[in-house]
Amino acid sequence: MSIDEKAIQEHVRGIIEALGEDPDREGLRDTPRRVAKMYSEVFEGIQFTNAEIADMFNKTFEEGLEPVGENQDLVIVKDIDIFSYCEHHMALMYDMKVTVAYVPRGRIIGISKIARIADMVSKRLQLQERIGSDIAEIMEIITGSPDVAVLISGSHSCMSARGIKKSDAKTYTTTLRGRFKDDTVLQLRLK
């Protein structure tokens, strides 16, 4: 599915009018076009399924890393910056930091690909909880490892700029798959 910039322009113009503004005044004249272009960029991930994103970033290396007892190899990438838009209010989710960890099963993914996966998944109308689940699913597909963890912290403008207006509130989500669910040693290594 491709993003229909023409339809976005028409709808944004209608929103501007519904707000009581003049869409033909100088400051707003090009706003529908600019918003449509921005939406094409920030919602790029809508066009792809998790399986397609996995195909897009499926660059792994056969390294022979296998879990061995409690001293297993573990890959952790922390502080991946992302932003997204809440599907409930289309409000910005910002200051988001993602941590992705996995136990390699004979192959490892290029670490820049982990950041690219997080970025692409966030470019959808989303829930923070689903961002974690989507990243974990894609990591499982690419690495073949069922042992994946995704931790996310973020601020939500639907809480900070409207409604309750609590600007310092942060939301934390944790997605634990495979051995991360029950293995406290693995969980501690995430810290």
Q: Is 47 a catalytic residue?
A: no
Which residues on neighbouring strands pair with residue 152, listed in sequence order?
98, 173
Q: Is 26 a catalytic residue?
A: no
Whether this prediction's pTM lies above 0.75 is answered by yes
- How many angstroms separate the CA atoms of 129 and 96, rounded? 12
* Look-up of token digits 């970025």: 119
Q: Which of 44, 128, 129, 137 is catalytic?
A: 128
pLDDT of res. 191 = 84
Q: Is 70 a catalytic residue?
A: no
- Per DSSP, 91 falls in state P
Which residues on neighbouring strands pair with residue 125, listed in sequence order?
85
Query: Do residues 48 and 70 make contact, with C-beta atoms less than 8 angstroms apart?
Result: no
Q: 130: number of CA atoms within 13 Å, CB side?
A: 14
pLDDT of res. 73 = 84
Q: Is 129 a catalytic residue?
A: no
CB atoms within 10 A of CB 161: 13
Q: Is 158 a catalytic residue?
A: yes
Q: Please give the chain's pLDDT, 191 residues, in tens.
A: 689 999 999 999 999 999 999 999 999 999 999 999 999 999 999 999 999 999 999 999 886 555 545 556 899 999 999 999 999 999 999 999 999 999 998 889 999 999 999 999 999 999 999 999 999 999 999 999 999 999 999 999 999 999 999 999 999 999 999 999 999 999 999 88
Q: Which of 17, 66, 88, 129 is catalytic?
A: 88
